[in-house]
Structure 1
Amino acid sequence: MQESRIWNLYGPAEVSLCCTYHLVDLGMDQKVIPIGRTLPNYQCLIHDEFGQSVITDQHGELLVGGVGVFAGYLYRNDLTEKAVVDIDNMIYYRTGDLVQMDSCGLLYYIGRKDYQVKLHGQRIEIGEIERCLLNKDVSACIIVKCGDDHLVAYVQGTNINEEDLREHCSSHLPTFMIPSMFVVLDRLPLNASGKIDLERLPAPNFSLSSVPARTKYDAPRTELEQRVHDLWCEILKTSGKKIARTTNFFAIGGHSLLFVQLYYDYQSNFRFDSQIISIAPFLLHATIADHAKLLNTVKFSGIKSEVWNTLHIDEGNNLSYEQFERIKFIHKF
């Protein structure tokens, strides 16, 4: 066995199975095994979402060209047009795989392109959340983006509950990557191919009443946290229900339009404008405790800053992140 060698080969069927290779070094490749270097007569490019080449250690989609690239999908010209691209008179296949290259020229597989979502301006790798959950007595799981504001984790397992899952994620993931809701199922529904059937997953309910009560209510600890708590209750119309200081705004019925209202209320009550604190950090750290820390950094002055206002803010549909950015841009000037 000591004389055996292990090769890690990468390649989808569209490029005749293999286009990169790596001889595994059991001493060096302890944490991550690269997919290696390009095989002879193949070429690999790494492009960002704008079709531009990326720099070292930056994620991008892997494009493969060379002798083994397929001619197209039989009778599916529509799929072929999406899957291939002509670059400098060479046909490249868009693998849909995210990779990065290190300074030694080794390629590393990151995940699927369609497993990357954008939430509140942050790019989130769904696979990273799923890997985190699979380390917590979860036999299977899937993360689904719902609308512009929510990630929902559907998990299969025994003797687990939402509170434990949320605490586990809080210990291992950034705040903006923690799902708004965890739905625990005895078994995840499967389709005829044995894959998780998204159509049969139960629809999430983001109303405040649907969020299970914590075994121990984590009440506001300071006067500032209490002020933030009261503003949240007004915005979310909680009808006297208490909100824990560590609860995520988007996990209890909050959405983008309500968040804009909340941010404006912060500006009005704490007398600051977006030049001092923009909306971005509030989005990334959307708990009462974190908002209180952010507001504590505001330098109060005797002169009230001019704050942004709008008519009929409680009307209309939820804002997209792009609309958030336009609001911030308009307010800046």
Structure 2
Amino acid sequence: MGGGARRTRSHRLPLAGVRCHVVDHVGRDLPPGCPGELIISGTGVGDGYWRRPELTAERFPDLSGATGYRSGDLVSFSPGAGLAFLHRTDQQVKVLGQRIETGEIEATLRRHSTVRDAAVAVLPDRTGVVAFVVLEEADSQPRPLPADVAAELRRDAEKWLTGAMLPTAWFQVHELPRSPNGKLDRPTLTGWATQAVPAVPATVTGSSAQAVAEVWERVLGTPVTDTGATFFSLGGTSSGVLRALAQLQPRYPRLHAADLFRHTTLRTLAAHLDTLDGAAERTDPQAGGDRARTVPAPSAAGKHSADNLEESNAAVPDVPALCRSGSRPVPALAR
């Protein structure tokens, strides 16, 4: 990582009944300290994807009679410490706190008879994905799909994709952007997705914004001034979400954990809390009236790019477990 300070990678210890294998590109076990792909076996690993034999063969290798799962994580193992996450080896990203595979979304969209090609990009605040589909008649620059066409594509995608994987915005293009060597130009797609998002307001005001900022600062242990940064990109974790929920629920009893994973920025969460606060303000007009404050918007230098967000989210791996080096499990990781 050029220039700045090196990011500290967290190490994780095993979960009971799960084994991890750190392997090279041909599936050979690697010794401690060598980076390799993490393959998981044991408790919690299924048999494959439903009605997707090709994808199952690719992602669920046989490990001497046991079924493994290629996680797509590049990790290294340190004796006595555990697994350290390095980065992703594929196009998997986090949306609404869930890991999703953009390639799976794109393959699903291409199944529709009217779609010649398709690609998706993640919104900057990690609250959804934007779909770009290639149709016979479309402009060179992306423009919104007609509502009826978008609804049809969404209905078809709902048969195969989870809620977090369903595109929240649909655009049509004449062709997808590509680099000189023919690869999909994902930075351009990210730029298109960013333009599809309404501009961040100069300030976020109100008692809800103040409440969120104060709770986040207590949980994160640092000032929060970037209203467009996600809780996770600022260093938050899943356990931190639950701590924030516990501090916000006394005032917002209808707030649920799912809301904090859905509204991951200060701006969007404050707007959601305003809707929950409406009924309470009608019964107590003075509630919170003198507590409002203004939260400054982020500077251009402080905004998080999609790559930075992915790196920040990825720093907390989802699957800690028992790591194997060579042909024998590493006893230091057994609980």
Would the TM-score normalized by the shorter structure come out above 0.5?
no
Larger Rg: 1
The structure with higher relative contact order (CA 8 Å, sep 6+) is 2
